[in-house]
Amino acid sequence: MNTSERTRNRSSAQSETDCAACPSNRRCWGEALPAETVHARREPPLERGARLLEQGSSAALYIVSSGCLVLRVSQPDGAQRVVGLRLPGELVGLESYAHGKQMYTAQAASPSTVCRLHLPALGEGATRGGLLERLLLKSAAQPDRASAPWAGLPAVERVAAFIENYSQRAHLPAREDPFKLPLTRADIGSYLGLAPETVVRALGHLSQAQRLAVRGRTVRLGGPTR
Amino acid sequence: MNTSERTRNRSSAQSETDCAACPSNRRCWGEALPAETVHARREPPLERGARLLEQGSSAALYIVSSGCLVLRVSQPDGAQRVVGLRLPGELVGLESYAHGKQMYTAQAASPSTVCRLHLPALGEGATRGGLLERLLLKSAAQPDRASAPWAGLPAVERVAAFIENYSQRAHLPAREDPFKLPLTRADIGSYLGLAPETVVRALGHLSQAQRLAVRGRTVRLGGPTR
DNA sequence: CGGCCACTTGAAAACCTTCAACCTATGTGG
DNA sequence: CCACATAGGTTGAAGGTTTTCAAGTGGCCG
């Protein structure tokens, strides 16, 4: 339903708001966000397990405001693989504007909220900039851009790198704070290319080596080194 | 030395030209490129082994015009890993605009030419669009965006997937044409997280299974299925 | 020629997966 | 409130794959 797209029906649109007025805009866009730069529409909250995007569906772009989304692709053989995570401030669905349709399914791994970004006719005419510019920055900063940094590492190191990476992307108050991984061991394994059991054992090793403390899905980085 | 360019539009001091006037602009930007949309400066050709970018150096953005660049990161332990390839039409260095400095070293794997793209003050002021819009599309389409699609596959399948992916990104006249992989087995292994010997053996298996024909670095996709 | 580098091959060791069983929480219905 | 079902998690042992180590080949260039 993009009948009235050119007209800026800002008042008539439901919750189309200026990101500058959003209390959590720093999480999304960084320091200061000038007014009238980015507009977004807050979507209804997603409960755990809810799907935001279906692989193959039409192009749409979201920015994660809170929670965590898991990106999955279903492979020719029917298996599903986790190909990425999206944490607050990260984009979901950008690829769809290059490929015409969504490249993955996005599912909430924990209760999440997202805002939909409306791209001004991406693919043709001119634009005012601002938004595009920021998107470009975002896109460039997007995780898993340069191929898996953990490729070739032993399982224990892969898991360690994953958790380290997660904890840096999650906006934690302090590095020592415990946090909760919203993924199952199976999902972590799928993402890292490891069997779930291997993830369990790797966590065990890391725990024993004092490199982190694990209790269920709660993790705390720790240890003398690093 | 490309002073022999027939630029009707000699506006800039350097060899800054309108991509629309470049004979190979389709390779870079797709179908039709309207005039005055993207300007670039063709750089001197890179011979095999020459470095375009050094990890940690200052932000700069290039688009590959011909050849192939290998992206490497040097890791804390001193080891170097291949994290990506860039083929004609693909961007090199975009990430540097998000991180402030180059995230990887880019080295020509075969004789290559690149053009430098001048980003109009990315990070602040407004822009005319066009460029940014296209960059965004590019960026979204960029390979290795969603985490390694080969993670978890057995070595043979990883190598097969890599070659398949390469042959699709290289602009080959026909799918059956033989082509030359510009990488050593060690580089392929580094990229896929495999030992060089494993790459050798995997290629052997694929060859024996008629899935491709390998002779040195020359490869031809083949076989009845796929 | 000699050196170097990429590539290749074989065998043993290390690692990871698989399979199977069991455990622990959580939620549901009786 | 308990019994049960379910999903995620954990553990052990066997088997397969990959890495490592070692040795050898072939091409290219000073």
Q: What is the DSSP string of B95-153?
A: THHHHSB-SSEEEEEEEEEEEEE--SSTTSS---SSHHHHHHHHHHH-SS-SS-TTTTS
% of chain B at pLDDT higher than 70 = 80
Q: Are residues A131 and A174 part of one domain? A: no
B140 and A140 within 8 Å at the Cβ level: the answer is: no
A145 and B144 within 8 Å at the Cβ level: the answer is: yes
- The pLDDT confidence band at residue B218, using thresholds 50, 70 and 90, is very high
- The pLDDT confidence band at residue B3, using thresholds 50, 70 and 90, is very low
CA dihedral defined by A193, A199, A203, A204, rounded to 10 degrees? -140
Tally of CB atoms within 10 A around A193: 22
pLDDT at A10: 39
On the CB side of A132, how many CA atoms lie within 13 Å of its CA? 28
User: Residue B75 falls within a domain, yes or no?
Assistant: yes
User: Residue B150 falls within a domain, yes or no?
Assistant: no
pLDDT at B211: 95
- Residues belonging to chain B: 226
Chain B contact for A210 (CB, 8 A cutoff): no
Q: How many domains does chain B have?
A: 2
Q: How far is the CA of B216 from the C1' of D25 (A)?
A: 14
Gap between the terminal Cα atoms of chain B: 43
Chain B contact for A32 (CB, 8 A cutoff): no
Q: Which residues of A touch B194 (CB under 8 A)?
A: 152
Of A159, A91, A97, the C-alpha closest to A124 is A97
Of A19, A53, A51, the C-alpha closest to A36 is A19
Q: Are residues A164 and A110 part of one domain? A: no
CA distance A3 to A5: 6
Chain B contact for A186 (CB, 8 A cutoff): no
User: Residue A131 falls within a domain, yes or no?
Assistant: yes
Over residues B195-215, the pLDDT tens digits come to 999 999 999 999 999 999 999
Structural domain including B123 reads 3-145
pLDDT at B13: 42
Q: Are residues A139 and A185 part of one domain? A: no
In DSSP terms, A108 is beta-bridged to A69
pLDDT at A2: 42
pLDDT at A129: 39
CA distance B218 to chain A (A): 24
List b or e across B31-48, with b for residues whose CB sees 16 or more CB atoms inside 10 angstroms: eebeeebbbbbbbebbee
Q: Are residues B136 and B109 part of one domain? A: yes
Sign of the CA dihedral B78, B84, B90, B94? negative
User: Residue A150 falls within a domain, yes or no?
Assistant: no
Which amino acid would we find at residue A66?
S
Over residues B92-139, the pLDDT tens digits come to 888 888 888 999 999 999 999 999 988 765 544 333 334 566 666 667
CATH for B172: 1.10.10.10
Cβ–Cβ under 8 Å, residues B50 and B108? yes
User: Residue A226 falls within a domain, yes or no?
Assistant: no
* Residue finishing a domain among B92, B117, B145: B145
Which nucleotide comes closest to B157 if you measure CA to C1'?
A: D17
pLDDT at B129: 39
* Residue finishing a domain among A145, A178, A212: A145
Q: How far is the CA of A121 from the C1' of C25 (A)?
A: 49
pLDDT at A12: 38
Nearest CA in chain A to B149: A83
CA distance A9 to chain B (A): 22
User: Residue A209 falls within a domain, yes or no?
Assistant: yes
The nucleotides of chain D lying under 7 Å from a protein CB are 8-13, 17-22
* Residue finishing a domain among B110, B145, B180: B145
User: Residue B182 falls within a domain, yes or no?
Assistant: yes
Query: Which residues, given as ranges, of chain A have pLDDT below 70?
Result: 1-14, 31-32, 120-138, 140-145, 223-226
Q: Are residues B55 and B120 part of one domain? A: yes
Statement: the CB of B214 is under 7 Å from strand C = yes
